[in-house]
Amino acid sequence: MHLLIIGAAGMIGHKLAEKVAATGMIGDRKVDVLTLADVIEPEAATDFDGERRAMAVDLSQGGTAERMIADQPDVVVHLAAIVSGEAEADFDKGYRINLDGTRMLFDAIRLTQGYVPRVVYASSLAVFGAPFPDRIPDDFHLTPLTSYGTQKAIGELLLDDYSRRGFLDGVGIRFPTICIRPGKPNKAASGFFSGILREPLNGQDAVLPVPDDVRHWHASPRAAVGFIEHAASMDTARLGHARNLTMPGVSATVGDQIAALRAVAGDGAVAHIRRQPDETIARIVAGWPRDLDTARARDMGFKAETSFREIIQIYVDDELGGVLPSEPASPR
């Protein structure tokens, strides 16, 4: 089986590629050919036992989508996007990459005679915007309040329609905010959710731009990879024409996050958090979902963590070698 990961240089794409290289599988499907694509050439999965290909491409440029699917990969994982804060700041770039690139990919598949791959599309909770119920049901109508959310919502509708018409076999994954993201901060408006945990666990200061009572929906990078693996091999007949699913996660306030950090790493870690209000970020986050009913996704086999301590422990295990920080030094 041939697997194509678009956006393979990003955090989730990199982790997915490494998992595939280690197991030779995605879900219950054996991978013989692995193609990794991004705007910079991905370096992941160099130890993959099968045939590995890597390419530096821009999906939003004409002809790129056709080049990527020329060998008709069986599963296409579409993770390529610019994140929420950047899409809001640069309107044209957001639509070019997040929407035009997606449409080009779907059309390249549609126009390839007899080719109907499984397409796993990375969507977002940003497709939901206030006003919404305290607990958003899976079938709640799309109400984005940002350009990023609008771009993802349009992608979801395209995925449904192209799947309905038989051009591709799509599964759309509405990712929770992924926490704790390893590495350096990105331009996502949600980046502080990881930063207020990651930096203190590494003995560094972190900025908290919103109040402690802000509540949001989270899952770990490990869960994110699991979502994709399951979507790549699940029976899509159960989805019917509603191809997009809200993924399971943990509903937690910023205060809950900080309490879990204190329980794991002590007061010294929490002391690294500096409160610095940012009205722009607070306004964006205020319109995001806080709690979701994900019974449909759970019934179909998708799984995530059930507590924030579990999310922090996964970061410790996967990124810090399983060694709990004893008591990071308090900031000067």
Cα torsion 41, 73, 124, 257 to 10°: value is -60
Return the structure tokens found at 222.
């490990």
Task: Report the C-alpha gap between 147 and 94 in whole angstroms.
Answer: 7
- 3-class state of residue 68 by DSSP: helix
Q: Which position among 95, 115, 121, 148 bears the catalytic label?
A: 148
Rounded to the nearest 5 degrees, what angle is found at the Cα of 86, between the Cα atoms of 83 and 92? 110
Give the Cα separation of 8 and 124 in Å (integer): 18
Please give the order of strands across the beta sheet that includes 250-253: 177-178, 215-219, 250-253
Are 151 and 98 in contact, with CB atoms under 8 Å apart? yes
Tokens 């018409």 belong to which residue?
165
- Separation between Cα atoms, residue 291 and residue 309, nearest integer Å: 18
Sign, Cα dihedral of 122, 27, 76, 79: positive
Does 148 participate in catalysis according to the annotation? yes
How far apart are alpha carbons 123 and 156 in whole angstroms? 7
Distance CA 17, CA 252 (A): 29
What does the alpha-carbon distance between residue 192 and residue 201 come to, in Å, rounded to a whole number?
14
Residue type, 8: A
Q: 244 has which bridge partners?
A: 172
Degrees to nearest 5, angle at CA 242 with 240 and 248: 110
Which amino acid is present at 160? D
**264 and 309 Cβ atoms separated by less than 8 Å:** yes
Provide the annotated active-site residues.
Answer: 148
